[in-house]
Amino acid sequence: MNSTKRNENDGEAGGGTMQPLKYLAFLKTVEYGSFTRAAERLNYSQSGVSRMISDLEREWNLTLLERNRSGVKLTSDGSQLLPFVKNLCQSYEELQTQVDSLHGVQSGIIRIGTISSIATHWLPNIIRAFQKDYPGIDYELLLGDYTEIEEWIKEGRVDCGFVRLPTCPTFEIIPLEQDRLLATLPVDHPLAKLEKVPIAALCQEPFMLLEKGAKAEISEVFERNGLTPRVHFTTWDDYAVMALVEGGLGISMLPELILKHTPYQIVAKELDVPAYRQIVLALRDKKTASMAVKRFLEYLDYRNA
């Protein structure tokens, strides 16, 4: 992709003729609270984005944004007009989707929100298969936790995202897999000899907790069973958890997908009370998704190829 910064006059003819640039610049500046960050997102110069919004303010004879050293924020007039600008940009996206469908999937970009285990184990297989049929498509992967990914989907920052249930009720979802949660132990640990590990036994030793944000699936398992683990270490880095377990510093519970092809000398065992995370792919609206995204959805079955 061409990374050259554009000015506010670029794209008004040719490849970007229909795009409401001034409105999109306003929307992204509000979203990021900064001309600079909006410019980076749109691949425009900071001065170009600033001038587009100034032109919009002159055109409407209104002040839309308050500028200060810490960034920008909406004025009262800007707040009243923001929903209409959002609707306009949404309508443009829907229009562009129809244009894409007439031309077929020759080029474009798919923006995906994902957790690390899916980025490592599923996406390479999915993208490899998709790339064979659609080599002109580019990808942007945003790595985060479930809460962050849900926000990115709502904001339109990503086209789709891998999350777990329950998720936002307004999303369209594609169920993918029930991923087992397994007891994770050092190879020489006494519990490693058991066929199934009692959940209560995981509360008797230092526990390495994989957790971040409000969607705390491991903690929920203990809560459902009326148990409280002795948490000694909390992180969202699954490799850190596995390394600590391998080093004999504690025990843990991890999703089976994370434990695939692990380089660490650890043992994964079933729990006496089965526990799962239900992984889905979520979108705001499948109907308004780009043709590239719609085609991408057809390749999800390649995740375990």
How high is the pLDDT of residue 113?
97
Residue 103: predicted pLDDT: 63
> What mean pLDDT value characterizes the chain?
88
CB 305 within 8 A of CB 173: no
Q: Are 123 and 189 in contact (CB under 8 A)?
A: no
Q: How far apart are CA 188 and CA 266, in angstroms?
A: 9
Q: What is the pLDDT of residues 130-165, one digit of tens each?
A: 999 999 899 999 999 999 999 999 988 899 999 999
Instruction: Report the pLDDT value the prediction gives residue 267, as an integer from 0 to 100.
Output: 97
Closest CA to 152 of 182, 124, 123, 111: 111
Other Cβ atoms within 10 Å of 95 Cβ, number: 13
**Cα separation, 7 vs 46, whole angstroms:** 9
* Strand 206-210 versus strand 276-283 pairing type: unpaired
Tell whether pTM > 0.75: no
Strand ranges, E, within 115-171: 137-143, 160-164
Give the three-class secondary structure for 233: strand
* Closest of 128, 129, 125, 155 to residue 142, by C-alpha: 155
Residue 95 has a pLDDT of: 80
Q: How many Cα atoms sit within 13 Å of 292 on the Cβ side?
A: 20
Residue owning tokens 């587009």: 52
**What pLDDT score does 102 carry?**
62
Instruction: Kindly report the number of other CB atoms within 10 A of residue 247's CB atom.
Output: 12
Low-confidence ranges of the chain (pLDDT < 70): 1-19, 97, 100-104, 106, 213-215
What pLDDT is stored for residue 139 in this prediction?
Answer: 94
- Answer for the pair 89, 22: CB distance below 8 angstroms, yes or no: no
- Pairing label, strands 196-197, 266-271: parallel
